[in-house]
């Protein structure tokens, strides 16, 4: 699976239209990269729950493995969704990773679950659906004109 090709095809939908579309494409590229990383390297586990693949290694999908990326754009909102055929993610893990990363004050740390945290923070709407041992689906919506909330002290 060549994730760069997939990400490039998505980016081509928005390139050069205007600044807002370019920004949407950049955000979509980051989100899809994180989604694919999770599906390729975090989801595949052995019977003891250990990862089957080292993050970043080049790999092909296993014979019974399925990863599906879905995208839809209505001119204002982009829906991004990915499914894997593992179903290994637990709701407690999602909560733990989001909490750990939300409280992490070191941006240089390489804490587990950082990709999931990025999805949660960057998507306007975020959801995770887990069918244990069968599949996991996560996705959300990016708006062409995002509402940016600045926090100050």
The model's pLDDT over 61-72, given as tens digits with 9 standing for 90+, comes to: 999 999 999 999
pLDDT (tens digit, 9 = 90+) per residue, 128-143? 999 998 999 999 999 9
Amino acid 104: pLDDT: 62
Amino acid 43: pLDDT: 86
Q: Give 89-133 as a DSSP string.
A: --HHHHHHHHHHHHT---TT---TTHHHHHHHHHSSEEEEEEETT
Count of other CB atoms within 10 angstroms of residue 65: 17
The encoded tokens of residue 69 equal 């990326």
Amino acid 5: pLDDT: 87
Domains of the chain: 3-143 (3.30.565.10)
User: What is the residue whose two structure tokens read 């296993």?
Assistant: 62
Query: Which residues of the chain carry a pLDDT beneath 70?
Result: 1, 15-16, 101-113, 149-153
3-state secondary structure of 115: helix
- The sign of the CA dihedral 42, 116, 55, 60 is positive
């Amino acid at each position: 699976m060549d994730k760069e090709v997939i990400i490039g095809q998505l980016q081509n939908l928005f390139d050069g239209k205007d600044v807002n579309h370019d920004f949407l494409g950049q955000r979509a590229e980051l989100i899809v990269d994180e989604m694919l990383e999770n599906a390729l390297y975090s989801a595949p586990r052995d019977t003891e729950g250990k990862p089957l693949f080292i993050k970043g290694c080049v790999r092909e999908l296993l014979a019974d493995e399925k990863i599906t990326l879905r995208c839809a754009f209505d001119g204002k909102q982009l829906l991004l969704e990915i499914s894997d055929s593992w179903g290994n993610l637990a709701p407690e893990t999602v909560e733990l990773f989001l909490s750990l990363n939300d409280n992490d004050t070191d941006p240089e740390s390489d804490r587990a679950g950082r990709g999931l945290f990025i999805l949660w923070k960057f998507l306007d709407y975020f959801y995770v659906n887990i069918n244990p041992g069968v599949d996991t689906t996560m996705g959300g919506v990016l708006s062409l004109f995002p509402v940016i909330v600045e926090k100050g002290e």
